[in-house]
Amino acid sequence: MKKLYFLLFFCSLLLHSQERYFLNSDTRLYTSPNSSADFLGYFKYGAEVRLLGESQNGWQKVQADNFNEGFIEEKFLATRLNAKDVKTKDPQNPILEGGDAYYGSNHLFVLAAGLKARALPDKNSKIREILFTGDPAAVNYLPVNPDEWVNINGSFSEEYAKFTLRKFLGSRPNFNALIKDFDKLDINAIAERKTLSERIVELAWNSDYSSLVPAYQRYYEVVKQINDPKLIAETELNMALAKALSKHKQPEEIIAFIQKSQYSLKGFKTKSVYISQADLVKTFGNPPKKTRISDECGLYLSDLFYYYPDLEVSVDEKQNKAEIIKVFINENNKFILNQNAVLDHTLSEKAFIEKYGTYIEASLKSPHIYSIIMEDSQFRLEFKNGKLFSVEIFYYC
């Protein structure tokens, strides 16, 4: 099946490969030319298509980005789009236009929990991404058949295309409505309660932090019914995180809390994230590895990096300066948020959340990794096996 789709893609790419074609209006993919009744799906303004064959009395056979083939009126074809395009809108087209609070281009939302986006329209093909309930997904062509595939990247490039089934996409789910649906379920309908509570949790993460507590309360009910000790412990950690995030500090409070942060490296205390090259080499010796990296944004002190088993550092040898980028927390190294908050290798993830959870940002897509946001950068703290593993600084380009 994979080979068949690749051949279809490759052949269509060769045909009319000298130009790309876009739709300058909403329209539909019809089953035959000169038809206004039977159609396969909806196109949104800006959708890219591949031309198949020659024009037929003002109609053109095309291929949509999910490999559906059909006909459109030739007048809607363009090799480029511009602000003066007069768009004909289809009021029945389910695809949402960009510009809402969630996505800037044509899109729909994920309705299912843990939805797999695949490299080809084939349930056995490679998984490119796991999507969560409430995630916006780019959609330019939407088939009518709920069991058809949708390309949620909008690209004909095999390298970037991602596919999922039509039935798992739609308007953004309503958090309160899902809560009410869950509360109506029979308490013994464990499978249904688990599925719905997973969607509620994912949608809560795609909403605001205040939604997390009621979401996890319901999920925890189901987890206790399942009685999986590992899942219970994980959920209890997330409930503590949800409680902390619901009381999130203001940006100015976070900056004040962390503005004097520094490291203790083998007992040597740095000044913020900076250290002299001489002190670095004195403390850790000559680096086992030196590498120059591409730094187009000019984010780091230098493009020369020293790599030690304990840390990664950007070094300006001429200026005798070093900027600490990443530190692995162990018996030698500590991260000092401020004089009253010293984070070492004995710090558990649960204790960190309980003490400092109101200062952090978190995401369901990056479990056990927490960020502390500053004006031009952020500290990213990673936990492994329940203990603090590393602290890394990221700058905004």
Supply the pLDDT for residue 124.
Answer: 94
pTM for this predicted structure = 0.87
Question: What is the rounded distance in angstroms from the CA atom of residue 168 to the CA atom of residue 189?
Answer: 22
Supply the pLDDT for residue 296.
Answer: 80
Supply the pLDDT for residue 17.
Answer: 45
Q: b/e for 107-126, b at 16 or more Cβ within 10 A? A: bbbbbbbebbbbbbbeeeee
Supply the pLDDT for residue 362.
Answer: 97
Cα–Cα–Cα angle for 353, 354, 359, rounded to 5 degrees: 60
Contact 359, 258 (CB under 8 A): yes
Contact 226, 190 (CB under 8 A): yes
Supply the pLDDT for residue 370.
Answer: 98
Question: What is the rounded distance in angstroms from the CA atom of residue 261 to the CA atom of residue 269?
Answer: 11
Q: Which amino acid is at 284?
A: F
Question: What is the rounded distance in angstroms from the CA atom of residue 262 to the CA atom of residue 342?
Answer: 10
* Count of C-beta atoms within a 10 Å radius of residue 332: 18
Q: Return all residues near 292 (Cβ < 8 A) that are at least 6 apart.
A: 303, 304, 305
Give, rounded to a whole angstrom, the gap between the first and last alpha carbons of the chain: 42
Question: For the chain, what is the radius of gyration of the CA atoms?
Answer: 26
Question: What is the rounded distance in angstroms from the CA atom of residue 109 to the CA atom of residue 298?
Answer: 36
* Count of C-beta atoms within a 10 Å radius of residue 147: 8
120: tokens are 């080809």
* Count of C-beta atoms within a 10 Å radius of residue 182: 21
Question: What is the rounded distance in angstroms from the CA atom of residue 189 to the CA atom of residue 158?
Answer: 41
Supply the pLDDT for residue 12.
Answer: 45
The 8-class DSSP code of residue 166 comes to G
Supply the pLDDT for residue 14.
Answer: 47
Q: Compute CA 237 distance to the chain's CA centroid, rounded to the nearest angstrom.
A: 22
CA distances from 174 to 4, 179, 180, 181 (A): 39, 9, 10, 11
Question: What is the rounded distance in angstroms from the CA atom of residue 153 to the CA atom of residue 107?
Answer: 10
Ordered mean pLDDT values, 10 residues apiece, the chain (397 residues): 49 53 94 84 95 88 95 91 78 91 93 96 94 96 97 85 96 97 97 97 96 98 96 97 96 92 92 91 94 86 94 95 96 92 95 96 96 91 96 90
Element (H, E) at 176: helix 175-184
Quote helix, strand, coil % in the chain, to nearest 5. Answer: 25, 30, 40
